[in-house]
Chains A and B, each alone.
Chain A
Amino acid sequence: MQVTFKIWRQNGPKDKGKFESYPVDDLTDDMSFLEALDHLNERLVVAGKQVIAFEYDCREGICGQCGIFINGRAHGPHDHMTTCQLHMRSFKDGDTIVVEPWRAASFPIIKDLVVDRSAFDRIIEKGAYISSQTGTAPEANAILIPKSVADKAMDAAACIGCGACVATCKNSSAALFTAAKINHLNRLPQGKAEQHTRVKEMTWQMNLEGFGSCTFTGACEVECPEGISISNIAELNARLLKSKISGS
């Protein structure tokens, strides 16, 4: 299989950056997309050129490190999929594949396809946890949680923080990510004690980081590898309103 990768190369945060084309001809269609990039990088090493910087860790769709904008879609042409789960069989022989880093003011480019997503970490630091004593694990049935509630909390907890929502959103809104983190905890009894400060502080940090406002285009829920529903953002709006009204 032969394709031409047209890849964004940028030497550092301050570099202007530009696209460069790399024809690669000995790929197989059962290679993953990241393996195809590895393959290209090996060629570049042999040729004494700089390898293309891109991120990954688990390569099994759970860590959220591998965000790349591929042929006009976050994580490539499929809905609900991480880049590491994308295979070359999704492309045709002879295709030109345009490969870009996540674009958002709040995700500055570090190098090539690698962006700085620490804005997400700073949002998490504002309340995506519960304050509790550490020690031996509490008795499992001390807090009873109905299955339906646990399931709903898990739906939100599935967020792997890959940043596809911000990348695909025309407003670079981080509302789906932040809503998932907040709803995950606020839906559970353990999260209730700090629910109001959590929602206020985390959304305020989202504002400070320079993300945009959600206008419900719905692109985020399509690109989210975990299929987290955009109704989470509406729920976040309700929670924020409630915490404003309750004044706590």
Chain B
Amino acid sequence: MTTNPLFFRKTAIALTGLFLCLFLIVHLSANCILLLPKELAIPAYNSYSTLLRESPLIKIVAYLLYAAILLHVFYALLVTLRNRKAKPVRYAVNHAGENSSWASRNMGVLGTLILIFIVIHLANFWARIKLGLGEAVPSDPNGNLDVYSVTYELFQNAWFVAFYALMAIPLAWHLHHGLKSGFKTLGFYHQGGLRIIARISLIYAWIMGLGFGIIPIVVFFK
């Protein structure tokens, strides 16, 4: 029998989504360096960034990450389109809020916002640092590329600060539903365990939302 798309696509979304959730933990932890006072943050952030750029292991992880994002979006699109087709006529009156959360019903919308964010985020940092597009990145006194200054400059622009801070909201919302849903998709069905996972998802979403939301604001006021 051929692979069942109803399950295969969701499994792909869950595996890539949970991998991205792991990545976000590492990403946020490292970015917390930006919260330190300038004298400490500059050498620490730049040497960390150099370490990442020069590690062959990180190179592999980076390609996995690009693949995960593309596959996640691709299968999310397929699932969303199929699911819309399965409900061609909507109800005239539907009090869906009484039986399900808004986030769970709008994962595609939230995901699209995150995708827009990812594209702009990559244009801000990845394109300049890795692709060498735009103004050349200066070096710090230790001879490392001064990635801190790239971040600092970007977050002196209030529009970017607002954009980055606000986009943490759809991210947190997506993660709150996504994390607990992903475990169920992968077949974790113990009821007590699922209640704990639901609580962890909420805490995780808050940490990610607050963490990524606050960093640009703190850097702005440095």
Report the bound CA distance from A62 to B86 in whole Å. 27
Interface size class of B (residues with CB under 8 A): 35 or more
Q: Give, as a whole number of angstroms, the nearest-CB distance from A19 to chain B.
A: 7
A8: chain B residues within 8 A (beta carbon): 92
For residue A41, CB closer than 8 A to chain B, the reply is: no
Return the CB mask of B85-111 against A: 1 if under 8 Å, else 0: 111111111111011110011010000
Is residue A32 contacting chain B, with contact meaning CB distance below 8 A? no
Closest to A214 in B: B10
**Is A170 within 8 A of B87, CB to CB?**
yes
Kindly state whether residue A213 has any CB partner on chain B within 8 Å.
Answer: yes
Provide the residues of chain A in CB contact with B105, threshold 8 Å. Answer: 170, 217
A173 to B9, CA, bound (A): 14
Determine how close the nearest CB of chain A comes to the CB of B47; give it in whole angstroms. 42
B79 contact from A79, A215, A218, A238, Cβ within 8 A: A215
Among A104, A234, A237, the residue within 8 A (CB) of B86 is A104
Give CA–CA (A206, B4) in the complex, Å. Answer: 10
What B residues does A212 contact at CB under 8 A?
Answer: 6, 82-83, 85-87
Let me know if B100 and A218 touch, CB within 8 A. yes
Contact B82 A240, beta carbon cutoff 8 Å: no
B184 at the interface (CB under 8 A from A): yes
Number of A-B contacts (CB under 8 A): 144
Interface centre among B90, B105, B177, B187, by most chain A C-beta atoms within 10 angstroms, is B187
B99 touches A219 (CB 8 A): yes
What is the minimal beta-carbon distance from B187 to any residue of chain A, in angstroms? 3
Contact between chains at B1 and A170 (CB < 8 Å): no
User: Do B83 and A171 have beta carbons less than 8 Å apart?
Assistant: yes
Is A94 part of the contact surface with B, judged by Cβ < 8 Å?
Answer: no
Identify A222's interface contact among B10, B99, B177, B185, CB under 8 A: B99
Please pick, from B79, B104, B189, the residue contacting A235 in the complex, using a CB distance under 8 A.
B189
Tally of contact residues, A, Cβ under 8 A:
50
- From the candidates A170, A210, A237, name the one contacting B184 in the complex (CB within 8 A): A237
A98 sits at the interface (CB 8 A): yes
Interface residues of B in 174-204 (CB under 8 A from A): 177, 180-181, 183-191, 194
Smallest Cβ-Cβ distance to B3: which chain A residue: A244
Asked if A28 is an interface residue, CB under 8 A from chain B, the answer is no
Once bound together, how far apart are the Cα atoms of A225 and B149, in whole Å?
60
Task: Tell me if B185 and A216 are in contact (CB < 8 A).
Answer: yes
Interface flags for A218-245 (1: CB within 8 Å of B; 0: not) read: 1100110000011111110111110000
Query: Which residues in B have their C-beta under 8 angstroms from that of A19?
Result: 92
> Which residues from B are CB-within-8-Å of A239?
187
| B133 shortest CB reach to chain A, Å | 37
**CB <8 Å contact, A100 and B91:** yes
What residues of chain B lie closer than 8 Å to A105, measured between beta carbons?
Answer: 85-88
Pairwise interchain contact A219-B185, C-beta atoms closer than 8 A: no
- Is B4 a contact partner of A240 (Cβ separation < 8 A)? yes
Residue of B nearest to A209 (CB): B86
Measured CB to CB, the nearest residue on chain A to B7 is: A240
Contact A238 B189 (CB under 8 A): yes
Smallest beta-carbon distance B16→chain A, Å: 15
**Are B189 and A234 closer than 8 Å at their CB atoms?**
yes
B87 to chain A, nearest CB (A): 5
Chain A residues near B7 (CB-CB < 8 A): 203, 213, 237, 240
Residue numbers in B under 8 Å from A235 (CB-CB): 187, 189
Q: Does A83 contact B (CB under 8 A)?
A: no
Q: Which residues of chain B have a CB within 8 Å of any CB of chain A?
A: 1, 4-7, 9-11, 79, 82-83, 85-96, 98-101, 104-105, 107, 177, 180-181, 183-191, 194
Nearest first, the 6 closest Cβ-Cβ pairs linking A and B are: A238-B187, A72-B95, A212-B86, A171-B83, A234-B189, A212-B83
Other A-B pairs beyond A213-B83, A235-B189, A237-B187, 16, CB < 8 Å: A71-B95, A72-B91, A72-B93, A104-B86, A172-B83, A204-B4, A212-B6, A212-B83, A214-B6, A217-B105, A218-B99, A219-B100, A232-B189, A234-B185, A234-B188, A234-B194
